[in-house]
Amino acid sequence: MAVLLRTLLQSGRFPRVLGRPLGPREATLGTDSGAAVRVRFAPSPTGFLHLGGLRTALYNYIFAKKHGGSFILRLEDTDQTRLVPGAAENIEDMLEWAGIPPDESPRRGGPVGPYLQSQRLELYAQAAEALLKTGAAYPCFCSSQRLELLKKEALRSHQTPRYDNRCRNLSPGQVAQKLAKNPKPAIRFRLEEAPAFQDLVYGWNRHEVASVEGDPVILKSDGFPTYHLACVVDDHHMGISHVLRGSEWLVSTSKHLLLYQALGWPPPHFAHLPLLLNKDGSKLSKRQGDIFLEKFAAAGFLPDALLDIITNCGSGFPENQMGRTLPELIAQFDLTRITCHSALLDLEKLPEFNRLHLRRLVSNATQRHQLVEKLQVLVEEAFGSQLSDRAVLDPAYVERTMLLRQDHICRLQDLVSPAYSYLWTRPAVDRAQLGTISEKVDEIAERVLG
């Protein structure tokens, strides 16, 4: 990158290009109507997969399958300082557990890999070089200390922190002097008047980012991209036709469209999904601890129940109904039915959703056989050496028990709770407990045993 900057300076093109206004253009949604549908779920492995991420992945999955397209998992791991060990594996594990596996991913591979952003740094460097050549980007030499002072001063003045674009208009001589001291500057993108765009959920939008934000860093001095450059480059090279992501990225879309425009690439269609919130309207928080998928899996909740409840509380379907399976969700989904209203998730209803899907599995002979095997394992784990009569593990007995109690349980685990221990073990009460109930414990015991 430093070599490119010096070349631009020596060619004499650098000052003229940097001074050239790019001019506004109307963005197009521009993918060919006959092109294949390709969508992506691109989480950051800075934490395990939670319900909010599952909902975004699910909408992408059912949209792809509805239109005979491909569902891609791309991991945005460029912020190396925040990576959580095991998170990348957990995300793909949980997508497979939920029954919505990606068609292309770090684990499965694919034609446009690699699917880890940390392995695609050359692509981002090439894009940054192209932007530098056209003057759409410029080197920034500001220290982290200066940027922090700008932020503090803005907050002290009750203003929104923003970069003051100090390095935007450096002369060639100034750039050359600074390159001698700092050969690896950050690269910033020159924000201009933002294009209008039509979001498939929120309609026509225009966010004048240049008037409220400073020019953003697109490539850090360590060679790693920021989200804005990486998502644009990857979506282009991976042939993404539709970007379905959370509404928190709606404001950033103007920046992304400016990047597409500057790179000469047609943008994908954008559809921003309303947020998934708690039933009281508060945000789902990873700090809650109980929104991670592995917690639900360990507690015995079925994948179909989770997919059902997170779509039932939102929009995108003709009507709200409980008990929908994944094939039904795919058949009924309609992107034009998604509204701008946030989805309020009431997890207190999850047991009832699970009951419906558990009963459906029990009513199917093949799936009931699989449940019998799972219940046998649960009984062994719960009672172990207490099983004085191993006949309770007989498949016929386990199946009969399941069929008799299916209307009284929400999870398979309920059948090994203390309330149902009598189904698997002989009741045992010590003499001290009986003594608290009656003074005639010995007489009662003698009569019972007799």
pLDDT of 298-354, one tens digit each?
999 999 999 999 999 989 998 888 999 999 999 999 999 999 999 999 999 999 999
Question: For 55-87, what is each residue's pLDDT tens digit?
Answer: 999 999 999 999 999 999 999 999 888 999 999
> What CATH class has 293-354?
mainly alpha
The span from the CA of 52 to the CA of 29, in Å, is 26
pLDDT in tens, 265-293: 999 999 999 999 998 888 886 656 678 99
Exactly one of 184, 283, 286, 374 is catalytic; which is it? 286
pLDDT of 142: 94
Tell me the backbone φ, ψ of residue 22, rounded to 5 degrees: -80, -30
Q: Measured between alpha carbons, how far is residue 126 from residues 12, 13, 133, 274 in Å?
A: 21, 19, 11, 34
Query: Taking each helix axis from N to C terminus, what angle separates 227-237 and 121-134, rounded to the nearest 10 degrees?
Result: 100
Are residues 124 and 219 in contact, defined by beta-carbon separation less than 8 angstroms?
yes
pLDDT at 6: 61
Tell me how crowded residue 50 is: count the other CB atoms within 10 A of its CB. 23
pLDDT at 24 over 80: no
Specify whether 286 is catalytic. Answer: yes
DSSP secondary structure, 197-225, as one string: EEETTTEEE---HHHHSPPPEEE-TTSPB
CA–CA dist 103, 120 (Å, integer): 19
Q: SS3 of 140, please?
A: strand
Angstrom distance (rounded) from CA 183 to CA 133: 17
Determine the pLDDT at residue 19: 33
pLDDT the model gives residue 314 = 85
φ, ψ of residue 243 to 5 degrees: the values are -110, 110
More confident of the two residues 330 and 449? 330
**Contact criterion met (CB below 8 Å) for 72 and 41:** yes
pLDDT attached to residue 432: 77
Name the DSSP letter for residue 20: S
Q: Name the pairing type of β-strands 197-199 and 242-246.
A: unpaired
Of 61-70, 77-86, 91-100, 409-418, which gets the smallest average pLDDT?
77-86
The answer to whether residue 229 scores a pLDDT higher than 70 is yes
**Average pLDDT of the residues of the chain:** 89
| pTM score, whole prediction | 0.88
Q: Mean of the pLDDT values across residues 225-244?
A: 97
Q: Considering only CA atoms, which of 151, 169, 173 is closest in space to residue 161?
A: 151
Q: Which whole number is the average pLDDT over 99-106?
A: 98
**Do residues 266 and 206 touch, judged by C-beta distance below 8 A?**
no
Q: What is the token pair recorded at 292?
A: 């991670």
Every domain of the chain and the residues it spans: 38-275, 293-354, 364-449
Domain 38-275 has CATH 3.40.50.620: yes
- With bands split at pLDDT 50, 70 and 90, how would you rate the model's confidence at 9? low
Q: Are 43 and 277 in contact (CB under 8 A)?
A: no
* pLDDT, tens digit, 9 for 90 and up, residues 142-196: 999 999 999 999 999 988 899 999 999 999 899 999 999 998 999 999 999 988 9
Residue with tokens 């508060």: 282
E strand intervals along 298-403: 343-345
Start-to-end Cα distance in the chain: 93
